[in-house]
Amino acid sequence: MLQGIETKAIGAEPPARCRSSAARRALLARASDLGVPRGYARARRLRLQREPARLAAIGTDVYGRTQWLQPRAAGALAALRQAALRDGVVLEVVSAFRSIEYQLGILQRKLARGQPMAAILRVSAAPGYSEHHSGRCVDLTTPGFAPLEETFEQSRAFAWLTRHAATFGFALSYPRGNPHAFAYEPWHWCWHAQRAGAAPATSTTRHK
Ligand SMILES: [Zn+2]
């Protein structure tokens, strides 16, 4: 039996998603009204992300909340975590699927606290453009490290991911100097269907 990996969330309902492209456009318009700059997506080389029709529970995160991914990504993450455990590495989930509406709430809360839009958009994607909307991405941590801190790159877990994540189709989305002008996120890993089963990286370089 694997400890610490729950694969079912009994009685939990997946988070709501946009029911139509009109609903999605309405949320994007609200983000624009809040001050997301015109031309944001092009300037940051970001694609509009679609929310998945189906979501599978992946167990609870470090805060005890049930988290969700699209089913194939959920399966890939379970395999990744099990392989890590076999090597003595515990990977914990901080965040997984987030809806466009949820991202809009993040933006509203940060603005309400007085943070400038430019500062917010350096660390948070504008609603509609977070990879988390796709249900293919997770923010990971490991015991002994604070969630969503750059120091995660000093963990054994990060070293393990750098070496093995590609085998399971996961890649680091925002390395240092990424073309999207996001802050470095050693914790954010995204599953790409076409990369699943790819040969493991042979390089021991941490950030490539
Ligand atoms: Zn993330």
163-199 tens-digit pLDDT: 999 999 999 999 999 999 999 999 999 999 876 555 4
Amino acid, single-letter form, for residue 23: A
Residue 31: per-residue pLDDT = 97
Q: For tokens 């089963």, what's the residue?
A: 197
| 62 C-alpha to ligand 1 centroid (Å) | 14
| 117 C-alpha to ligand 1 centroid (Å) | 19
Residue ranges of the chain whose pLDDT lies below 50: 1-4, 6-7, 199-208
| 137 C-alpha to ligand 1 centroid (Å) | 7
Tell which CATH architecture fits domain 21-195. 2-Layer Sandwich (3.30)
- Residue extents of the structural domains in the chain: 21-195
* Verdict on whether the full-model pTM lies above 0.85: yes
Residue 194: per-residue pLDDT = 78
Residue 206: per-residue pLDDT = 42
Q: How buried is 124 (Cβ within 10 angstroms: 0-12 exposed, 13-18 middle, 19+ buried)?
A: middle
| 98 C-alpha to ligand 1 centroid (Å) | 9
Whole-number Å distance between alpha carbons of 156 and 28: 39
| 139 C-alpha to ligand 1 centroid (Å) | 5
Number of neighbours of residue 185 by Cβ within 10 angstroms: 19
Residue 162: per-residue pLDDT = 98
Residue 103: per-residue pLDDT = 97
